Amino acid sequence: MTRISTNVKEFHIISNGKMPIEQLREILIDIHPYVTSIHLREKQKTARELFQAVELLSTDIPLSKIIINDRVDVALITRVSGVQLAYHSLDPVFIKNAFPKLKVGSSIHSYHDGEKALQDGADYVLFGHVYPSHSKPGKTPKGIEELSKVSRLNIPVIAIGGITPENTKQVIQAGAKGIAVMSGVLDSSDPLCAVKAYVHALTEGAGEK
């Protein structure tokens, strides 16, 4: 089985908050060997529901691959690898000072945001949306040039928003450390096939043979 290796760029999967956790689990069981991180972005769920979701997923998915959106408390209690902070979340500096071992990502939309995330001690940033995205209708994408600029900061940049296997190589060559995908995999009729297409594109983008 071909799996994503350590010298291939990062591949993050973001949950869409629309499907039952049981359904998400079935997809993740198949695809998790090919991805580096799985974000639980379940804005409508309570802390208890998120805790239960992690409990369910952890029977088949390594906790080291799971990242919780926003909820630092749930991330700590469940001992997942990290937390993804949004614009309304606490600043990374507070989290890193209190819990230095917790991996902290910061969602950003500009070079200035990236500078602040770097100063605040974030471990990486999620930058987007790079291309037109169904989840951001009517909003102008940031584009590949802005991604290239942000990627020059001394912090790993994960690109998100409209990422497809066809444009993944361009994203990586612009300097991104990796990609984050939601609908491109979870809305696919064949998520495993979709993931393999992304992994192939990431390998090409990283210049591997």
User: What CATH number did the domain enclosing 145 receive?
Assistant: 3.20.20.70
Mean pLDDT of the region 66-93? 97
- The pLDDT value recorded for residue 2 is 39
Q: Which two tokens stand for residue 110?
A: 């500009």
pLDDT the model gives residue 7: 47
- 4 lies in a domain? no
Q: How confident is the model at residue 10 (pLDDT cuts 50, 70, 90)?
A: very high
Total tally of structural domains belonging to the chain: 1
Is there a domain that residue 144 lies in?
A: yes
Helix axes 165-173, 143-150, angle to 10 degrees: 40
Q: Check residues 3 and 13 and name the one with the higher pLDDT.
A: 13
Q: Name the strand (E) or helix (H) holding 83.
A: strand 82-85
Domain-located, residue 5: no
Whether 196 is in a domain gets the answer yes
Query: What is the phi/psi pair of residue 199, to 5°?
Result: -60, -40
Q: What confidence tier does 208 reach under pLDDT thresholds 50, 70, 90?
A: low
Q: What is the mean pLDDT of residues 205-209?
A: 66
Find the mean pLDDT for residues 118-141: 90
- For the annotated catalytic residues, the residue numbers are 129
pTM for this one?
Answer: 0.93
133 pLDDT band (50/70/90 cuts)? confident
Residue at 3 is within a domain: no
- Enter the tokens of residue 49: 């529901």
Which residues have C-beta within 8 Å of that of residue 208, sequence separation ≥ 6? 7, 8
Q: What pLDDT was estimated at residue 172? A: 96
Average pLDDT, the chain: 93
Q: How many residues does the chain have?
A: 209
Strand partners, 38: 13, 66
Range of the domain at 87: 10-205
Q: Which residue has the tokens 């090919």?
A: 34
